[in-house]
Amino acid sequence: MIEYVLVAVLHLYGDKLELGPEMVIDFYPTEQKCIEVAANAQYIVDEIKFQWNGFMKEERRNGHMVPPIVAIGMFCKPLENVPGEEV
């Protein structure tokens, strides 16, 4: 049974008071398993940065400025605290 969600929170350049968007990464049956993955999530952070850089380049070609990522936080949240209708 899924109980916890691993969430990446992006902090974008220029964000003063608020963190940037959240991305649901994966679902876990226990908080401990989620924390273990979050603690060793550099490969996830690297992939998010890689994809974000591609997104920034594409948007710039279309005339839209997208800020770069300053930092990425990985958090485990109880499933009931994550917005959405379906898992």
Label residue 17 by pLDDT band (50, 70, 90). low
pTM above 0.85, yes or no: no
Query: How many helices, marked H, and strands, marked E, lie in the chain?
Result: 2, 3
- pLDDT exceeds cutoff 80 at 65: yes
Sign of CA dihedral 35, 37, 9, 31: negative
The answer for residues whose C-beta is within 8 angstroms of residue 20's C-beta and 6 or more apart is: 9, 10, 11, 12, 69
Question: What is the token pair recorded at 45?
Answer: 């952070």
Mean pLDDT within 67-74: 93
Question: What is the predicted pLDDT for the residue at 70?
Answer: 92
Residue 4 burial (CB count, 10 A)? 24
Residue 62 burial (CB count, 10 A)? 7
